Amino acid sequence: VVDIRKLYAQTGAFTYDPGFTSTASCQSKLTYIDGDEGVLLHRGYAIGDLAENSSFMEVAYLLLNGELPNQDELSGFTNTITRHTMVHEQLAAFFRGFRRDAHPMAIMCGVVGALSAFYHDSTDIHDPVQRTIASHRLIAKIPTIAAMAYKYSVGQPFLYPDNSLSYTGNFLRMTFGVPAEAYEVNPAVEKAMDRIFILHADHEQNASTSTVRLAGSSGANPFACIAAGIACLWGPAHGGANEAALNMLREIGTPDRIPEFIARAKDKNDPFRLMGFGHRVYKNYDPRATVMQKTVREVFDALKVNDPLFETALRLEEIALNDEYFVEKKLFPNVDFYSGVILSAIGFPTEMFTVLFALARTVGWVAQWNEMITDPDQKIGRPRQLYTGPTQRAYVPVEKR
Ligand code: ACO
């Protein structure tokens, strides 16, 4: 690892690295990825172990505090998050300003950013107590806002949180309860959803997390920073890939049409890519995709459904992993490849998929934001550029141009 800052101070030389393929923007103790081996650790714990044995609240505590909680710590943390699940009543008015067919990620960008207009007290980033409260508020309120975005799109009344339920159970009820009293959380679906949240909780310096850090490096308040992260996550090359992957599977339809789409993905004159395939860091199987694939069957069993698109997805994976193009470029299924099939079986429309990703990733974003704020090495993020425009020239008055 070369400390370019020293080189720059001595020689004025700096690196040209579009897309930051080989530049570390920070130090972090949160998440470790070995892309060649397909390893993902949070604070040292393997993602497979966490997904199998822990809960989303445990992982949130782990990412924020560095250690897994004991039972008392977990209960205290869960109670604190639960206390913050309500949103200001005036936020409901924000929703009514949007078109009913607005993409819920558009609503999320606006409403989450607007939280800074309601919680002035926790915008003081220099006060550690306020930083903690802001973090808890964000983790607690995002599911409420996400469920409201869904309810608004289907023209149903908003539901208040029921704090007797788990974090994930509460979210499912706020989303699907019609009426609220009649909704019973299916424990298998609740477990699967909680696991999906764990799988999305953090992923080191991906585009949206880097966006949150960059926004935060200027001293912007945490609500504004997370709204910036949500905007970045929306893109189809990042969090929007889960929506795009399911749409692609629907377009392919049956396994006999797979070769046509594989050929298109390999054709450099066609912008089509296999959505849910490939990753900047993983050059091996994404360990989250392994858990996700297993979870599909669990959800299907619990709901007694069988979406034929899952068979298409499995076959597509098999064909791609035996194709020279994908082997040579080390393109494997990523976390988004199978998530759409599960989320669709649970009842979420595709537009909500990236919202669910944002909900879970909020934990990672706030943990990364807190780590950045307390890092004495951190400066305002300010990349350099290679200027390729004209050299200095004389101004020509408009009548002479
Ligand atoms: N289908 C077909 N070809 C692909 C795919 C794909 N899904 N992904 C990469 N390639 C090819 C590229 O065309 C390129 O080929 P070339 O070397 O001949 O030009 C090569 O593989 C490398 O691809 P890059 O785009 O340079 O790799 P990068 O690291 O910049 O991109 C990315 C990674 C954006 C994830 C890319 O693989 C992609 O677009 N995948 C589809 C979208 C997706 O699933 N995104 C989710 C990512 S995970 C997440 O955000 C949770």
Q: What is the whole-number distance in angstroms between the Cα of residue 104 and the centre of ligand 1?
A: 25
pLDDT of residue 7: 87
Q: Which of 103, 202, 279, 307 is catalytic?
A: 279
Residue 177 near residue 159, CB atoms below 8 Å:
yes
Q: What is the whole-number distance in angstroms between the Cα of residue 275 and the centre of ligand 1?
A: 9
Q: What is the whole-number distance in angstroms between the Cα of residue 351 and the centre of ligand 1?
A: 22
Q: Any catalytic annotation for residue 336?
A: yes
pLDDT of residue 295: 93
pLDDT of residue 269: 96
pLDDT of residue 123: 81
The residue to mutate among 283, 329, 354, having the most atoms of ligand 1 within 8 angstroms of its beta carbon, is 329
Q: Which of 194, 286, 307, 336 is catalytic?
A: 336
Q: What is the whole-number distance in angstroms between the Cα of residue 17 and the centre of ligand 1?
A: 17
**By alpha-carbon position, which residue is closest to atom 26 of ligand 1?**
280
- Which residue reads 């250690």 in tokens? 67
Q: What is the whole-number distance in angstroms between the Cα of residue 149 and the centre of ligand 1?
A: 30
CA distance 85 to 107: 18
CA-to-CA separations, 119 to 4, 131, 222, in angstroms, rounded: 39, 12, 11
Q: From the first residue on, what is the mean pLDDT of each consecutive set of 10 residues in the chain (401 residues)?
A: 86 91 94 96 98 98 98 98 95 92 96 93 88 97 98 94 95 91 89 96 97 97 97 92 92 96 96 94 93 93 91 95 96 93 94 96 98 94 95 97 96
Q: Any catalytic annotation for residue 279?
A: yes
**By alpha-carbon position, which residue is closest to atom 35 of ligand 1?**
279
The residue to mutate among 234, 280, 324, 356, having the most atoms of ligand 1 within 8 angstroms of its beta carbon, is 280
**By alpha-carbon position, which residue is closest to atom 15 of ligand 1?**
329
Residue 20: closest CA among 210, 170, 185, 198: 210
pLDDT of residue 181: 74
pLDDT of residue 5: 85
The residue to mutate among 268, 279, 325, 357, having the most atoms of ligand 1 within 8 angstroms of its beta carbon, is 279
Q: What is the whole-number distance in angstroms between the Cα of residue 209 and the centre of ligand 1?
A: 19
Q: Please give all residues whose beta carbon lies within 6 A of any atom in ligand 1, as ranges.
A: 237-239, 241, 265, 273-280, 329, 331, 334-336
